[in-house]
A = this chain, B = another copy of it.
């Protein structure tokens, strides 16, 4: 790496939009996780695809790594500069380029966050449904194949990105996908880059699939006598083909934390929170049928939210579950786990995990996107006690192994980053070698987010 001449050329390109200020570097060495790494050597704030391509050309000429940065909400240290280099922060590439209502398409720059996009869309009758909780950037969400609470109804980033513009290692710019709803023309490069975590190229534009704002919304919470009853209720509801926009599980510890933090008075038992989108008659019918199914599994204490503001309060509470859980152990930090299993294995996976945590020295409330088989334990550690981190890492590792044993995956939505790299071989076997060959051919100098994804 010939850093100094690279930074000179990048400064000539960007002026003061290339920063080596210690505070800026320190900000880009942070992560919403316990994972740490060194700071980058510089942070670039490009304005255009042309500037990103020029950065990639300079980086290639001097063997300098480039690491993409969106909103900094990664939970697995994706955007940390393991071997130094230049972080490319898309803060200033955050525009909505075009919205085509008839086609339900938006073309956006990567730095826009999902909340900013939805605020922009409010009067169009459309919205972008993928909702990971955090106000992540769309570029980052695509790079990690994010999903969240609404994936059961609307799919993940895999399903809602129609096309991309990518700057490859070396600076070549390609476009993937088209604006048609489907295509059989060639390898699905859009899908290859979605979830590639910046290791194959930098996303400089996204074509997104928008959805109509639902005419009617109905949401509810209800308590269950056991985790297994709640999860079995989810399975039965899915099997009845009742379309759900969201269905979330919170264990009793999570509910208690939410009650304390969001000033709610929910029953402190295993809880489901569910939301239906559709026509007024449709959501009414769905809600009634869900109520009947849930009652059959012993559900109690139904609270229905039909007004938009009541629904919003419910999901605000759900999205605040993470700070609520953190606040439940003052001074604690969290190790956030993320596994996803076949629905049939969900009850077993959740119960074994809960038992494992109960036998450990640390608390770990469990919540999840149960319609997808995806759940998280928020393992609370005392940062002053190294034994806690050791215990949390061991629990997280056993959760991942359990998920694989049950036919699932080590990460449903948070991605690999640095936190899960050691588990890739266990999940993919020889297929990990294929990923390595693809990485090597598209980034032969290993400059795009090095140290991630492949061996």
Contacts and interface: CB of A to CB of B under 8 A. Distances in A.
Interface residues of A, number: 92
A151 B281 CA distance: 25
Given A102-B342, A175-B431, 5 more contacts: A104-B343, A180-B407, A181-B342, A184-B415, A440-B441
A182 B431 contact: no
Contacts of A392: none
A109 interface: no
Interface stretch (A16-24, A84-92, A110-118, A142-150): A142-150
Contacts of A412: 180, 182-184
Contact of A186 (B102, B184, B453): B453
A254 interface: no
A191 B429 CA distance: 18
A201 to B, nearest CB: 9
A215 B186 contact: no
Contacts of A326: none
Nearest to A176: B431
A182 B441 contact: no
Given A241-B212, A241-B215, A185 B410 contact: yes
Interface in A180-198: 180-189, 191-192, 194-196
Contacts of A373: 180-182
B185 A416 contact: yes
A407 B183 CA distance: 12
Given A105-B342, A215-B241, A407 B178 contact: yes
Candidate in A125, A428, A435 with the most chain B CB atoms within 10 angstroms: A428
A35 to B, nearest CB: 16
Nearest to A144: B184
Interface stretch (A36-44, A56-64, A166-174, A359-367): A166-174
Interface in A74-126: 100-105, 125
A188 B181 contact: no
Interface in A423-453: 424, 427-435, 437-438, 440-442, 453
A450 to B, nearest CB: 16
Nearest to A211: B241
8 contacts: A101-B239, A102-B344, A145-B188, A174-B434, A175-B429, A179-B408, A183-B412, A187-B195
Contacts of A372: 180-182
B424 A186 contact: yes
Contacts of A442: 434, 437-438
A387 interface: no
A411 interface: yes
A238 B125 CA distance: 13
Enumerate the 9 nearest inter-chain pairs by beta-carbon distance, A residue then B residue, closest first.
A191-B191, A102-B344, A179-B407, A183-B409, A212-B241, A441-B441, A174-B431, A180-B408, A180-B340
A408 B105 CA distance: 13
A182 B215 contact: no
A159 interface: yes
Contacts of A430: 172-174
A195 B188 CA distance: 7
A186 B191 contact: no
